[in-house]
Structure formats: structure tokens, C-alpha cells
Structure 1
Amino acid sequence: MEKIYQLIPDADIMELQYLDSILSGKSEEQIKQFALVYRSRRRDPIIILITALIGLFFVAGIHRFLLNQIGMGILYLLTGGLCLIGTIVDLINYKNLAFEYNQKVAQEILMFTR
């Protein structure tokens, strides 16, 4: 896990553990290649939090567009973040939203690098 932490230092513990589990058995070169692509595509939970806060006060759904959830983004945009309740729930769960997105990204990268 230390090697992954050196390559992706901005990841939290839960994300590092997940990456460690899916990268076990990979060579050092494969891990470096994965980390290079993953760092460019992952979403930082703080960015999700900030965009959800912007959605709370200005334009709802921006964070859903960043998470590649276009349908939910449009729904939030048209309903004012589902009358602000959905946005508030997302503010509470911003780490989980980012982690789920990053898991999908990691799986996609692994499929293409095999």
C-alpha cells in the first residue's frame, strides 16, 4: 500500500485500501501506468463537496455532472436539487459519491490495461 500511496498521495485510506486490493499481483510498471491514468480521471471528494455547496446556493446538480451522472444532474437542475433535499443528502454523503465514482474509474482502467 505504501507504493500506491506514493503514486496517489491525495487518496484517503478507504480508497488506498480498495486500490491495493484490486492491484495486488500487478507488476510495478502496471501499477505506475494505472496510477498515471487514475490520477487524471479520479474525482477529489473536496471538489464534490464544493460543487454540491454551489448547487445548494446557486445551480443545483453540478456535482452530479462531475460524477458523470448526467440524468441525475438534469433532474437536480430542473427540480432545484429535488427541492434542496437531494443536495443536502449529497452534502452529507459527498465522500461516498466520490468513492463510488473512483471505484468505477478504477475498474474501467483495469479493463483497458489488461
Structure 2
Amino acid sequence: MAEFSVAEQMQLTEGMTEQQKFLFQAQYGAERKDRVRILVISVFLGAFGIDRFLVGDIGLGLLKLLTGGLLGILWLVDIFLIMGRVDDFNRTKAHEIAMTIRMSGPGVQAF
């Protein structure tokens, strides 16, 4: 999938008050992962599973850590796949944040 875009963010915040939109942007900005930063981490530390730990894939991170990236095979594959996984992580995190804000109602002051 493509990078989580501003248009998708606007669709998620549609119908929210300005305060809710501000809370969404603040929370999402704090929790999102940068695609390029994770790619660089994957290139240099991917054999140790650090890249997978950062995007919440604990099982794969442990597998890569304990096997040296399956002797480099998973490390090499992840160089090509990790940016898509970061996009999925960001999209999922944005949906969770939006749902939390919507459930808290229009008069919410803070998380």
C-alpha cells in the first residue's frame, strides 16, 4: 500500500470538531513512524530485528534477533518490505487514534 497520505488523514478527521482534529494531529504526530528512518535502521540493524520491533512486529523481531535475520535472508527481504509495513503501522495507528477521539465525544479536553 502507499504511504498514509494527508487526504486519508482528512477523511479520518471528517466530522470532527477543530479541537478533536488538533488532538488527532498531535497524537498521530507523536506516534507515527518515519519511513526513511525505519529503512535506514533496517539496513544497518535489521539483522538484529530492531526494525520489526519498532513497527510492532515483536514475533518477527525476535526471530530475526535470534537467527541473525535467518542468516541474512530476512534482513535482505525486509529492506524491500519494511516501508510498506511502516505505512500499515501508521495507518492502523491513525485509525485507532481517530476512533478513540470519536468515542470520547466532542467535549473532550485531553487524552
TM bucket, shorter chain: 0.7 to 0.9
1:4-19 equivalence runs, <5 A = 14-19=4-9
Distance in structure 1 (CA, Å) of the matches to 2:77 and 2:24: 32
Secondary structure in 2 aligned to 1:43? coil
Give the counterpart letter for 1:73 in structure 2.
G
Tell me the matched-pair count: 101
Tell me if 1:21 matches 2:11.
yes
Q: Which letter does structure 2 place at the counterpart of 1:41?
A: E
CA contact (8 A) 2:3 2:87 kept: no
RMSD: 1.9
Matched residues in 2 for 1:84 and 1:18: separation? 35
CA distance in 2, matches of 1:14, 1:41: 13
Deviates more, 1:40-49 or 1:21-30: 21-30
In the aligned structure 2, how far is the partner of 1:34 from the partner of 1:14? 14
> Residue in 1 aligned with 2:25?
35
Alignment pair present for 1:65 and 2:53? yes
Q: 1:31 to 1:69 in 2, by over 3 A?
A: same
Deviation at 1:13, TM superposition (A): 6.3
Q: Aligned-pair distance for 1:14?
A: 4.2
User: Residues 49 and 91 of structure 1 are in contact (CA less than 8 Å); yes or no, is this contact kept in structure 2?
Assistant: yes
Residue 49 of structure 1 corresponds to 39
- Structure 1: gaps of 5 or more residues: 1-11
- TM-score with structure 1 setting the length: 0.77
Distance in 1 (CA, whole Å) between partners of 2:17 and 2:98 is 13
Greater CA deviation, 61-70 or 85-94? 85-94
TM-score (structure 2 length as normaliser) = 0.79
SS of residue paired to 2:48: coil
